[in-house]
Structure 1
Amino acid sequence: MISSSTIKLKIYRQLLKCNLLCLRRKSSLGLWNEDLTTEIKLKIEDHWRKDVVSLQRTDSNTESFYVLPMFPYPSGNLHMGHVRVYSISDTIARFHKLDGKNVIHPIGWDAFGLPAENAALERKIPPHRWTISNIQSMKMQLLRLGFDFDWEREISTCDPQYYKWTQFIFLKLFEKQMVYQCKAKVNWDPIDKTVLADEQVDEFGCSWRSGAKVESKFLTQWFIRTTQYAKDLFDGLNSDILEDWKDIINLQKHWLGECDGVVVKFDIRIGKTKKPIEIWTSEPYKLIHGQFITIKKTNILLQDIENINKMDFKCFNPITNCEMPVYITDDANYAPERDAYIASPANSNEDLKLAKSINVSHINFEDIDIVNENKRALDIAQRKNIGGYLVSSKLKDWLISRQRYWGTPIPIIHCNKCGPVAVPYKDLPVTLPHLPSLGSDIQTLDKLDEWINCECPKCHKDAKRETDTMDTFVDSSWYYYRFLDPENYERPFDKIKISGKTPVNIYIGGKEHAVLHLYYARFMSYFFHSLGWISYPEPFKKLVVQGMVMGQSYKLKSSGKYIPPDTVEQVGKEYIEKNSGEIVLKQWEKMSKSKYNGENPERLISLYGSDTTRLLILADVPPETSRRWSDATLPGVLNWQRRLWLTIRDFLKHRNSIGFDTIQLTEAEYIKHEETIWNAKNYFIATTTYHFKHTNKLSVGISRLQSLTNTLRKNLPPTVIAKSKEFEVALASLIVMLAPVTPHFCSELWAGFVSAPHRISSHESIQWDKNLFEQRWPKVNKEYNLSLLCKVDGADRCDLKIKAADLEKLDSKNAINMAVRQDAIADRIKAGISKTKYELYPGCRAILHIFTNRTQKSKESKEMANKQ
Structure 2
Amino acid sequence: MKYNPAGIETKWQKIWEDEKLFKVEKDDTKEKFYCLEMFPYPSGKIHMGHVRNYAIGDVISRYKFMQGLNVLHPIGWDAFGLPAENAAIENSTHPAVWTKQNISYMKQQLKKLGLAYDWDREIATCDPEYYKWEQKIFIEMWEKGLIYKKKSHLNWCDDCNTVLANEQVEDGACWRCGNEVAIKELDGWYLKITDYADELLEYTDKLPGWPSKVLTMQSNWIGKSYGAKIDFKIKDIDDKITVFTTRPDTLFGATFMSVAPEHPIVKTLLAGTEKEKDGLAFIDSILKDDKISRMDDDKEKRGFFTGRYVLNPVTGIDMPIYIANFVLMDYGTGAVMAVPAHDQRDFEFAKKYGCDLRIVIQPKEELSLETMTEAYSGAGKLVNSGQFDGIPNEDAKKMIIDWLDDQNIGESTINYRLRDWQISRQRYWGAPIPFISCDKCGTVPVPMDQLPVKLPDVNFNPDMRGNPLDKVESFKNTTCPKCGGAAVRETDTMDTFMESSWYFMRYTSPDCDTAPFDKDQANYWMNVDQYIGGIEHAILHLLYARFYTKVLRDLGYINIDEPFKRLLTQGMVCKETYKCPDHGWLFPEDSTDGKCSKCGKDVTVGRVEKMSKSKKNVVDPNKLIQEYGADTARLFILFASPPERELEWSDTAVEGSFRFINRVWRLIQNNVNLFKEELPTSTEDDITKEILFHTNVTVKKVTEDIERYQLNTCVAAMMEFVNNLYAIEPKIQDGHKTHFKDAILTLMKLMAPFTPHAAEELYEMTGLPGHISRSDWPSFDEKLTQKDEITVAVQVNGKLRGQIDIPRNMGKDEVFVTAKQNENVQKHIEGLNMIKEIYVPNKLVNFVVK
Measured against the shorter chain, the TM-score band is 0.7 to 0.9
Secondary structure of residue in 2 paired with 1:523: helix
Alignment equivalent of 2:691, drawn from 673, 677, 685: 677
- Equivalent pair of 2:424/2:494 in contact (CA under 8 Å): yes
Specify the alignment match of 1:703 in structure 2.
716
Say whether residues 1:217 and 2:237 are aligned partners: no
TM-superposition CA deviations, 1:217-263 (whole Å, max 9, x none): 22122221212222221121111x43142322222222222343699
User: In structure 2, do the counterparts of structure 1 residues 786 and 120 end up closer, same or farther at CA, with 3 Å as the change threshold?
Assistant: farther
Distance 1:426 1:376 in 2: 56
Amino acid at match of 1:421: V
The answer for the alignment partner of 2:138 in structure 1 is 170
Give the 3-state SS of the residue equivalent to 1:544 in structure 2: strand
Q: Any residues of structure 2 matched to 1:315-354 within 5 Å, and which?
A: 329-330=322-323, 337-338=331-332, 340-341=334-335
Match of 1:644 in 2: 664
Is the contact made by 2:36 and 2:532 (CA closer than 8 Å) also made in structure 1? yes
Contact kept in structure 2, 1:648 and 1:752, CA below 8 Å: no
1:780 match = 780
The residue aligned with 2:75 is: 107
Equivalent in 399, 420, 424 of residue 447 of structure 2:
424
1:438 CA displacement? 5.6
Q: 8 Å contact 1:621–1:699 — kept in the other structure?
A: yes
Residues of 2 paired with 1:580 and 1:681: CA distance? 53
SS in 1 for 2:202: helix
Q: Which residue of 77, 82, 88 corresponds with 2:45?
A: 77
SS at match of 2:614: helix
Deviations 1:677-727 (A, max 9, x none): 11111111111011112x111111122122222222214247547853322
Instruction: Say which SS state the counterpart of residue 122 (structure 2) adopts.
Output: strand
Pick closer, same or farther for the CA change 1:448–1:98 going to 2, 3 Å. same
Report what 1:149 is aligned to.
Answer: 117
Q: CA deviation at 1:179?
A: 1.7
| Residue segments in structure 2 that go unaligned for 5+ positions in a row | 251-255, 277-305, 309-317, 358-385, 389-395, 406-410, 788-806, 810-838, 842-850
Alignment of 1:133 onto 2:101: yes
Name the CA distance, whole Å, in 2 between partners of 1:157 and 1:146: 24
Q: Partners of 1:55 and 1:518 in 2: how far apart?
A: 27
Q: Deviations over 1:360-406 (max 9, x none)?
A: xxxxx999x9979989999xxxxxxxx999442x3222121111000
* 3-state SS, counterpart of residue 685 of structure 2: helix
- Which residue is 1:530 aligned to? 554
Q: Structure 1 residues 655 and 120, CA, compared in 2 at 3 Å: closer, same or farther? A: closer
The secondary structure found in structure 1 opposite 2:727 is coil
Higher deviation after alignment, 91-100 or 148-157: 148-157
Q: Distance in 1 between matches of 2:529 and 2:559?
A: 15
Name 2:392's counterpart in structure 1.
none
Match of 2:208 among 237, 242, 251: 242
Which amino acid in 1 is paired with 2:558?
A: I
Residue pairs, 1:124-523, within 5 angstroms:
124-203=92-171, 205-239=172-206, 241-260=207-226, 280=244, 282=246, 296=259, 298-301=261-264, 307-308=270-271, 329-330=322-323, 337-338=331-332, 340-341=334-335, 390-392=414-416, 394-435=417-458, 437=460, 440-441=463-464, 443-523=467-547
Looking at structure 1, the residues matched to 323 and 566 of structure 2 have their Cα atoms a distance apart, in angstroms, of 46
CA distance in 1, matches of 2:464, 2:717: 59
SS of equivalent residue, structure 1 residue 714: helix
Question: Structure 1: which 5+ residue stretches go unaligned?
Answer: 1-33, 287-292, 315-324, 359-364, 379-386, 756-767, 788-800, 804-821, 825-868
Quote the residue 1:846 is aligned against.
none
Q: Is the 8 A contact 1:187 1:196 kept in 2?
A: yes
The residue that corresponds to 1:830 in the other structure is none
**Partner Cα distance (2:209, 2:473) in 1:** 51
Residues paired across the two proteins, number: 711
Question: What are the superposed Cα offsets for residues 77-96 of structure 1, whole Å, 9 maximum, x if unpaired?
Answer: 21111111111111111110
Residues 244, 404 of structure 1: alpha-carbon distance in 2 compared, 3 angstrom cutoff: closer
Q: 1:504 to 1:39 in 2, by over 3 A?
A: closer
* Secondary structure of the structure 2 residue equivalent to 1:218: strand
- 2:380 corresponds to: none
The question of whether the paired residues in 1 share the 8 Å contact of 2:578 and 2:603 is answered with: no
**1:719-761 alpha-carbon deviations (Å, 9 max, x no partner):** 54785332222222211121112222111111112x2xxxxxx
Matched to 1:462, the amino acid is A
8 Å CA contact 2:153–2:184 kept in 1: the answer is yes
| Counterparts of 2:400 and 2:146, CA distance in 1 | 26
Mapped contact 1:228–1:390 kept (Cα < 8 A): no
- 2:704 maps to 1:690: yes
Q: CA deviation at 1:341?
A: 4.2
* CA–CA distance in structure 2, aligned partners of residues 303 and 341 of structure 1: 11
CA offset at residue 176 of structure 1?
Answer: 2.5
SS of residue in 1 equivalent to 2:517: coil
Partner Cα separation in structure 2 for residue 213 and residue 158 of structure 1: 28
- Give 1:587 deviation, angstroms: 1.4
Partners of 1:78 and 1:96 in 2: CA distance: 25
Structure 1 residue 165, shift from structure 2 partner = 1.5
Q: Is the 8 A contact 1:785 1:802 kept in 2?
A: no
- Write out per-residue CA displacement over residues 98-151 of structure 1, whole angstroms, 9 at most, x where no aligned residue: 111100111111000101111111221221111111111111222222111122
Quick one: distance in 2 between partners of 1:633 and 1:104?
32
SS for the counterpart of 1:593 is coil
Which residue does 2:604 correspond to in 1? 584
Q: 1:650 to 1:228 in 2, by over 3 A?
A: same
Q: Distance in 2 between matches of 1:784 and 1:717?
A: 22
1:692 and 1:217, CA in 2 relative to 1: closer, same or farther beyond 3 A?
Answer: same
Aligned partners of 1:73 and 1:658: how far apart in 2? 54
Q: Deviations over 1:137-177 (max 9, x none)?
A: 11122222211112222111111111112112222221232
The residue matched to 1:441 in structure 2 has which SS?
Answer: coil
2:60 pairs, out of 92, 100, 122, with 92
Mapped contact 2:692–2:784 kept (Cα < 8 A): no
Give the C-alpha shift of residue 544 in structure 1: 1.1
Whether the aligned pair in 2 keeps the contact of 1:53 and 1:147 (CA below 8 Å) is no
Q: Which residue of 1 aligns with 2:408?
A: none
1:682/1:374 CA distance change after superposition, 3 Å: farther
1:185 CA drift (Å): 2.0
- Structure 2 counterparts to residues 29-40 of structure 1, below 5 A: 34-38=1-5
Secondary structure of residue in 2 paired with 1:67: strand
- Tell me the CA shift for residue 648 of structure 1: 2.1
Kept in 2: contact 1:296–1:330 (CA 8 A): yes
- CA displacement at 1:636 relative to structure 2: 2.0
Matching residue's letter, 1:743: P
Letter paired with 1:248: V
Letter in 1 for 2:218: Q
- Report the AA paired with residue 47 of structure 2: H
Would you say the 8 A contact 2:401–2:412 is kept in 1? no
Question: How far apart in 1 are the matches of 2:248 and 2:197?
Answer: 17
| Cα distance change on mapping 1:628 and 1:297 into 2, 3 Å | closer
Q: Distance in 2 between matches of 1:685 and 1:101?
A: 19
Deviates more, 1:460-469 or 1:336-345: 336-345
CA contact (8 A) 1:80 1:549 kept: yes
Alpha carbons of 1:159 and 1:99: their partners in 2 closer, same or farther (altered >3 Å)? same
Matches of 1:743 and 1:49, distance apart in 2: 11
CA RMSD, 1 decimal: 4.9
Q: State the identity %.
A: 35
Change beyond 3 A, Cα 1:182–1:262 = farther
Residue of structure 2 equivalent to 1:13: none
Deviation at 1:649, TM superposition (A): 1.9
Contact conserved, 2:625 with 2:633, CA < 8 A, in 1? yes
Indicate if the aligned counterparts of 2:244 and 2:333 stay in contact, CA closer than 8 A.
no
In our comparison, the structure showing a higher alpha carbon Rg is 2
- 1:740 maps to 753
Question: How far 1:471 sits from its partner (Å)?
Answer: 0.8
Between the aligned partners of 1:709 and 1:87, the Cα distance in structure 2 is 22
